[in-house]
Amino acid sequence: MIKKLSLSAAAFAATFVAVASFDVPATAKELKFASFVGGRHVMNRKIFEPWAKEVAQLSGGDLTVKMYYGGALGKGGTKQFKRAVDGVADITWALQGYTANLFRKTTLIEFAGVGTDPVDTTKRMWKVYDKHLASEYRQVKVIAIWALDAPIIHTKVKPVNRISDLTGMKIRTPSQYQAWLIAAMGATPVPMPAGKIYNSLDRGVIDGVLISPSAINNFKLNEVTKYHSAGIAWGRSPFFAVMNKKSYQSLSKKHRDIIDKTSGLAMSIKASQVYTEDGIVGRNKLKADGKRTYAEFSASEVAKAASILKQAEQDILKRVKKEGIDLEPTLRALRSAGS
């Protein structure tokens, strides 16, 4: 009798395992996507909203992505990565530079000479991702990582025609590396998320900002700046869109496949293309506005800046190495990834 029961239990267990091995049928699911900026931002309009529609279409409406704009799920871009990790939102996006200590390797694209343009830089990040960057994203499912168009210096009262003009000026920076780089040129860096720039310039809290021309459209900076100085070979800021791991793993295989199919490298390249185009629009808008000054640094000033940046980058490598992180292999990989 005992033997028969044992055999029956074993048969039941085998049947249970066999049934459990099949994927659970897809059921309706809504993902919360937290955007720290308003719905008019170009990334929301041209990347994430179209992506949400694509996901819904491919799933037959069973998987939807609901956008929460302007910090509706929590204010501040600096906490976006943590919101995804903790599951406050299923998906978030922001700059790695806002929590730079978590992304020492990814933010190396802020160094000069890592990429020729946003798309090229984005492709380089993906080429080295598995070997060099993946460890920085272990807590999440990566939806996209991409590069912004290169920044220029925007100021409100005082023009910056020479590197020496930066001495003592309070310049907003988006990340720790760029803060250290602008400090090497004599300025006082003021770390600040993009959403606070407008009021800080308007009230004189800062003198200027190091940010890409695309910000002119997205944050209305043309209303609070007058002078724009371009030509220095800055690197580019990286961005992320990430998903809570449990949220991703809880999806059916069909829904996970849809997420995988519509995200990753292709989405990242598209995002970098959008920023490229938006940067051109912003730059042209500045040049065409007769009420402001748009100027390129002279060749000698560009060379001076390049020398300062090169030394500052070496200092950063040494500084971070004291934290126990050797950045040189990743930097070499990023710079050679385009060849």
For the chain, 339 residues long, give each residue's pLDDT as a single digit of tens.
444 444 444 444 444 444 443 454 557 899 999 999 999 999 999 999 999 999 999 999 999 999 999 999 999 899 999 999 999 999 999 999 999 999 999 999 999 999 999 999 999 999 999 999 999 999 999 999 999 999 999 999 999 999 999 999 999 999 999 999 999 999 999 999 888 999 999 999 999 999 999 888 788 888 999 999 999 999 999 999 999 999 999 999 999 999 999 999 999 999 999 999 999 999 999 999 988 999 999 999 999 999 999 999 999 999 999 999 999 999 999 999 985
Residues 86 and 170 in one domain: no
Q: What is the pLDDT of residue 195?
A: 87
Inside any domain, residue 271: yes
Inside any domain, residue 201: yes
Give the CATH number, domain containing residue 85. Answer: 3.40.190.170
Inside any domain, residue 13: no
Q: What is the pLDDT of residue 247?
A: 98
**Angle formed at CA 132 by CA 83 and CA 151, multiple of 5 degrees:** 65
Q: What is the pLDDT of residue 28?
A: 84
Number of domains composing the chain: 2
Residues 297 and 271 in one domain: no
Q: What is the pLDDT of residue 18?
A: 43
Q: What's the CA gap between 242 and 231, in Å, rounded? A: 33
Residues 120 and 141 in one domain: yes
Residues 132 and 166 in one domain: no
Inside any domain, residue 192: yes
Inside any domain, residue 24: no
Residues 130 and 249 in one domain: yes
Residues 104 and 183 in one domain: no
Residues 187 and 60 in one domain: no
Inside any domain, residue 217: yes
Residues 246 and 224 in one domain: no
Domain residues for the domain of 216 are 152-235+291-336
- Beta strands 170-173 and 29-35: pairing type? unpaired
Residues 242 and 299 in one domain: no
Residues 169 and 99 in one domain: no
Inside any domain, residue 120: yes
Inside any domain, residue 8: no
Residues 208 and 322 in one domain: yes
Residues 170 and 199 in one domain: yes
